[in-house]
């Protein structure tokens, strides 16, 4: 369910829960509390297997489970309270219900942005303009350390530390990056220049770059960079979304493997 619109699945589930509740309460003449319990059991008996087969993460599961359960519970409380008070509601109950509804909507928005990312229009409208390097600078950065990629498992830590020490001793350096400012919908030349500790070019290697989208891992791309000249590896590239991207660049020659991380920014369409 990761690719689905969370607002849509929540809305459909809430409407189904409400319809089931009134089916038990009005159609089958069950008390409000019992109608709420039966609604929760039926809805979750359907949702939990579907969520297990299309697992999108614990946060997505929790908010759906909470919404569907809360719908039946709130209806059960309202109906029972109304029946017991002869059709009148207490204002305090309305405040509590309103608070949880607002909290649920905020959580749904946060999870949606975390899974799908924010659109360019949303970023322009609600977020401040990011501080970036001027257009005269190459919009790439290579710190020269092994990339502790957040998408790799931490059980590789020992290998990471060993490779880091080896890279420091090897002394390879990566330079360049984008030769022009990257823009959405326009291929831009991406090239790296690899030299060794003595400043000599590292030729005949295999180079690749992985672009990772922090807000949406489905946009991640891995590209093999051909050697266009001794020690130079690159080709025109085009990324599918504007904004910030993380990079992991790997250069391998024989048993020597050098990996660095970086960041870049892609401009939106003018």
Q: What is the 3-state secondary structure (H, E, C) of the chain?
A: CCCCCHHHHHHHHHHHHHHHHHHHHHHCCCCHHHHHHHHHHHHHHHHHHHHHHCCCCHHHHHHHHHHHHHHHHHHHHHHHHHHHCCCCCCHHHHHHHHHHHHHHHHHHHHHHHHHHCCCHHHHHHHCCCCCCCCCCCCCEECCCCCCCCCCCCHHHHHHHHHHHHHHHHHCCEEEEEECCCCECCECEEEEEEEECCCCCECCCCEEEEEEECCCCHHHCEEEEECEEECCEEEEEECCCCCEEEEEEEEEEECCEEEEEEEEEEEECCC
How much is the pTM?
Answer: 0.46
Residue 130 lies inside a defined structural domain of this protein: no
pLDDT reported for residue 5: 67
| CATH code, domain carrying 151 | 2.60.40.10
**CA 26 remoteness from chain centre:** 43
Question: Strand pairing of 140-141 and 173-178?
Answer: unpaired
164 and 262 co-located in one domain = yes
Overall domain count for the chain: 2
Q: Is 79 part of a structural domain of the chain?
A: yes
pLDDT of residue 203: 93
Both 110 and 177 in one domain: the answer is no
Residue that is written with structure tokens 């051909």 in the block? 226
Whether residue 150 sits in one domain with residue 76: no
Q: Do 184 and 248 sit in the same domain of this protein?
A: yes
Q: Euclidean distance between the first and final Cα of the chain, in Å? A: 34
Residues 212 and 154 in one domain: yes
pLDDT of residue 95: 77
In a domain, 155, yes or no: yes
pLDDT score at 128: 66
What are 152-191's pLDDT values in tens digits? 555 566 677 777 788 888 888 898 889 888 888 889 999 9
Are 155 and 259 contained in the same domain? yes
Residue 217: per-residue pLDDT: 80
Residue 125 lies in a domain: no
134 part of a folded domain: no
Whether residues 83 and 146 share a domain: the answer is no
Query: How many Å apart are CA 181 and CA 23, to the nearest integer?
Result: 60
At residue 133, the pLDDT reads 45
Residue where a domain stops, chosen among 116, 132, 148: 116
The pLDDT value given to residue 136? 41
Q: Are residues 220 and 158 in the same domain?
A: yes
pLDDT of residue 251: 92
pLDDT in the model for residue 139 = 47
31 with 98, same domain? yes
Q: What is the pLDDT of residue 51?
A: 87
Q: Choose the final residue of a domain: 83, 116, 149.
A: 116
Residue 123 within any structural domain of the chain: no
Sign of the C-alpha dihedral computed for residues 9, 15, 16 and 18 taken in this order: positive
Find out whether 194 and 233 touch, Cβ atoms under 8 Å.
Answer: yes
The residue assigned the tokens 């970036």 is 132
**Per-residue pLDDT at 4:** 47
- Residue-number span of the structural domain to which 156 is assigned: 140-266
Residues of the chain with pLDDT under 70: 1-5, 86-94, 97, 108, 111-158, 270
């Amino acid at each position: 369910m990761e690719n689905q619109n969370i607002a849509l699945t929540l809305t459909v589930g809430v409407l189904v829960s409400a319809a089931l509740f009134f089916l038990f309460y009005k159609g089958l003449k069950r008390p409000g509390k019992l109608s709420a319990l039966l609604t929760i059991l039926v809805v979750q008996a359907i949702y939990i297997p579907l969520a297990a087969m299309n697992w999108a993460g614990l946060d997505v599961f929790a908010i759906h489970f909470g919404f569907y359960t809360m719908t039946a519970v709130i209806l059960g409380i309202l109906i029972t309270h109304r029946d017991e008070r002869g059709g009148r509601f207490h204002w305090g109950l309305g405040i509590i219900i309103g608070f949880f509804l607002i909290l649920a909507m905020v959580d749904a928005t946060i999870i949606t942005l975390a899974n799908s990312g924010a659109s360019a229009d949303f970023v322009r409208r609600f977020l401040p303009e990011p501080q970036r390097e001027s257009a005269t600078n190459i919009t790439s950065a290579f710190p020269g350390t092994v990339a502790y990629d957040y998408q790799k498992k931490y059980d590789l830590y020992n290998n990471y530390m060993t490779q880091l020490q080896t890279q420091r001793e090897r002394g390879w350096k990566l330079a360049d990056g984008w030769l022009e400012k990257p823009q959405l919908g326009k291929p831009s030349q991406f090239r790296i220049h690899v030299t060794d500790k003595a400043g000599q070019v590292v030729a005949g290697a295999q180079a690749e770059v992985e672009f990772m989208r922090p807000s949406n891992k489905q946009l991640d791309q891995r590209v093999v960079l051909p050697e266009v000249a001794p020690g130079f590896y690159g080709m025109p590239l085009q990324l599918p979304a504007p904004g910030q991207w993380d990079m992991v660049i790997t250069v391998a020659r024989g048993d020597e493997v050098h990996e660095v991380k970086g960041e870049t920014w892609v401009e939106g369409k003018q």
